[in-house]
Amino acid sequence: MSTRTWEGLTIPAAGTYNLDVNHTTIGFVVKHMMVSKVRGSFGKFTGSVTIAENPLESSAEVTIETASINTNAPDRDGHLRSDDFLSVEQYPEITFRSTRVVDHSGDDFTVAGDLTIRGVTKEVELKVEYGGAGTNPWGQALWGFSINTEFDRDDFGLTWNQALETGGVLVGKKIKVEIEGEANPA
């Protein structure tokens, strides 16, 4: 993979890059019982990033298989796949498609795009940290990134909850998304 210098960063050449599913994790965090956090991830997804000649005109898209959700608790995972939450039979995918780069400073970018969950599409902003470009020991080109965002699950129809006797609710409303990954030339 060839690289170039842009605003002091060594970035990949213009082109399309696929997410390396073996070196990418799409995770999430949500409050549980108002006192702790539960972490989970999705094991099956595809995605690509198209780096434009002008990097601020780049785009990305990701498709996640909802049935691949994993919180390391089979009963909870089954509930999350049910109609109370993801309704995986009716909505087998979560998608994200970027619409624009909103801002950047150094290796930090803000990317806006359309997130679709359960057939509901809302704009979200991702905080993207560019990690750099390189070549692995086997000669494969790659570049890395870290992404974070947060949204209210109610906005996507994920409204199931249960009141607690001590006050509060079983599942927090805010979902934090954390993605760590690498991409390779398509």
**What are 155-164's pLDDT values in tens digits?**
998 887 777 6
Query: What is the pLDDT at residue 90?
Result: 97
Band of residue 49 on the pLDDT scale cut at 50, 70, 90: very high
Mean pLDDT of 56-68: 97
pLDDT, position 112? 98
Beta bridge partners of 37: 31
Helix (H) or strand (E) holding 57: none
Burial group, residue 154, by CB count within 10 angstroms (0-12, 13-18, 19+): exposed
Q: Are 184 and 20 in contact (CB under 8 A)?
A: yes
Q: Which residues pair with 50 in a beta bridge?
A: 16, 59
Percent of the chain scoring above 70 in pLDDT: 98
Question: Which pLDDT belongs to residue 121?
Answer: 98
At the top level of CATH, which class does the domain 3-185 belong to?
A: mainly beta
> How far, in whole angstroms, is CA 88 from its chain's centroid?
18
Q: Is the pTM of this model over 0.85?
A: yes
CB atoms within 10 A of CB 74: 9
The whole-angstrom separation of Cα 40 and Cα 77 is 9
Q: Are the C-beta atoms of residues 157 and 118 closer than 8 Å to each other? A: yes
CA distance 60 to 40: 23
Query: How is residue 130 written in tokens?
Result: 């560019």
For tokens 């002008």, the residue is 54
Q: pLDDT value at position 132?
A: 93
Give the tens place of pLDDT for each residue, 86-125: 999 999 999 999 999 999 999 999 999 999 999 999 999 9
State whether the Cα torsion 86-87-92-96 is positive or negative: negative
pLDDT for residue 169? 64
Return the amino acid letter for 114. Answer: D
Question: What's the CA gap between 23 and 29, in Å, rounded?
Answer: 19
